[in-house]
Amino acid sequence: MKKIVVLVFVLFSLVFSNDFIKEESSVFNGSNDKNINTINEFTQEEKSATEGVQSTPTVVSKNLYLSYKNYPKHIYKNQRFEVDVKALITRTNYDRIETHFIDGINMVPLNAQSQWEFEGNAKNVYVNKYYFKAYDSNFLLPTIEVKLYDNNVLVESRKLLPPKITFSEIAKGDIRFSNIIAQELKVLNTKAKQYTNKQALAIIDLEGKFSNFEDFYIKGFEEQGVTLIEDNYPNQHMIYYVVIPIHQKSIVFNYYNTSLKRLEIINIPIKFEEELVSTQTDLNPNNSSFEFYKKVAIGAIAVIFLVLFIWKRSYIYLILFLLFAIASMLFAIPNKSIKLKENSVIYILPTKNSTIFQKMTNHALVEEMKRKNGFVKIMFKRGEDKFIGWVKEDDVIKD
């Protein structure tokens, strides 16, 4: 009986020990597979991060490739320059491309919202042109990150690291250097007119390609500024004014030509036009006695008629006295103040093709003198001096 019991116990132990061994072995094998999958995934990300100059994507990327098509090896202070980027996209399940600029130092794109366009007839190759400007030697182009979205879900991402670009300044000690760095610069037109008894107003019309007109400055002249800039980069158009001595014969300045890699001299001869023969004094009322003599004459005539009325006792002289007295009082009333819109342009004459005198950047408060042909004659102050010009009625803020 004891032998039978021992034999049953041995058989029972063998059966349950095999099940336990199988279960323990299965648990161990499952843990090992999980570790292998984790290592393979990390290795795949590490491999992606070392391809070319593209860094590790946020989402593991296999169908988005970025590269530089063109960029300058050397740039100058205040120079605008172009960087061309290419994107090869081999996947089809995306509906939006986003571009981000990361970790730039003293440098951001001037056209960050520039849209990607197809390169030629290719349907999966995109190109984009970004324009930058160098203000300081301590700069770093930003890393360009491109993301692909499908129904607002991020499906791929890549980062393009910045290239190495060297930096230098131009013509530090050149008093003629105008701060302009351009592939091309043209003087389209110039006008010069008497401004005060001792000064003239010169208007310069310039056109540039890959230029930085916003930095334009001609050394040696106290009063100067931008009247208008049209910026359709890489093309720029600017109207600039300079107040010069009345006897100055020319304006001379340099700019750096990036195509020729040298400073180019621009010599603008000053020739006066006779557009303002009869209204020249309107430019600066402080230098004209016409208004003063007119007021004195009206007042004197009024006094004469008053004396005649007292002497002759004729009511006709009284009526004439009252008319000239009212006119004299009207001339004595201060001008009405009006406010101009931002960026209002002041013209020398109330005509469509008149020379632009100045551009008001803020809501300027000026004196209204009269209205004519859709223009308003105004008097405005610059420092301690007063000047007269014309603005369009549309540029006046209505009360």
Give the domain ranges of the chain: 54-167, 172-269, 280-395
Tokens of 185: 């610069």
Rounded distance, CA 353 to CA 349, Å?
A: 9
Question: CB-based contacts of 147: which residues, under 8 Å, 6+ apart?
Answer: 58, 97, 98, 99, 100, 154, 156, 157
Rounded distance, CA 130 to CA 27, Å?
A: 56
Domain at 54-167: CATH code? 2.60.40
pLDDT tens-digit series, residues 182-224: 999 999 999 888 777 788 889 999 999 999 999 999 999 988 8
Tokens of 139: 């700069």
Nearest to 251 by CA among 207, 221, 209: 221
pLDDT tens-digit series, residues 321-343: 888 888 878 777 767 788 888 87
Task: Say what the pLDDT of residue 128 is.
Answer: 96
Rounded distance, CA 101 to CA 97, Å?
A: 14
Nearest to 253 by CA among 212, 221, 214, 230: 221
Check whether domain 280-395 has CATH 2.60.120.260, yes or no: no
pLDDT tens-digit series, residues 75-116: 999 999 999 999 999 998 999 999 999 999 988 888 999 999
172-181, 267-276, 339-348 — which is least confidently predicted?
Answer: 267-276
pTM (two decimals): 0.57
